[in-house]
Amino acid sequence: MSLINLAESYAYATTITSGVFGNSPVGLLGFGDAGVGSTAMTTTNGGLSLQSIISEPGSSFDTMQANFTANYQAMAVQAIGIGLTFKFAKKLLRKPISNVNRNLMAPLGIGVRL
């Protein structure tokens, strides 16, 4: 499992969920800005959560459609930027990443690499 690839995937997920649901991936699950230890499933920033989608599917899908229509261009630009940034960073930092993987991660033997 690569931590860099995991970060890239989370960045893409954040772009999609913020553009369509108005929330982060964690907020979409209901654990966003509701507070630590809170059982509230909706966030204070007004974004959709899974609970709100399940409880009110009609209005939620209308909101998702309106959000997508308003944000699809920005989402496309962000996705391109994320792809280019990670590609450039991986090439630029190839030797340090390899060094960390070889000298720190491999001896741990946990199957995780940078």
Q: How is the chain split into domains, by residue range?
A: 3-108
Tell me which amino acid residue 69 is: T
pLDDT of residue 34: 44
Whether the pTM exceeds 0.75: the reply is yes
Contact yes or no for 71/16 (Cβ under 8 A): no
CA distance 107 to 9: 26
Tens digits of residue pLDDT in 62-78: 999 999 999 999 999 99
CA-only gyration radius of the chain, Å: 18
Res 114 pLDDT > 60 = yes
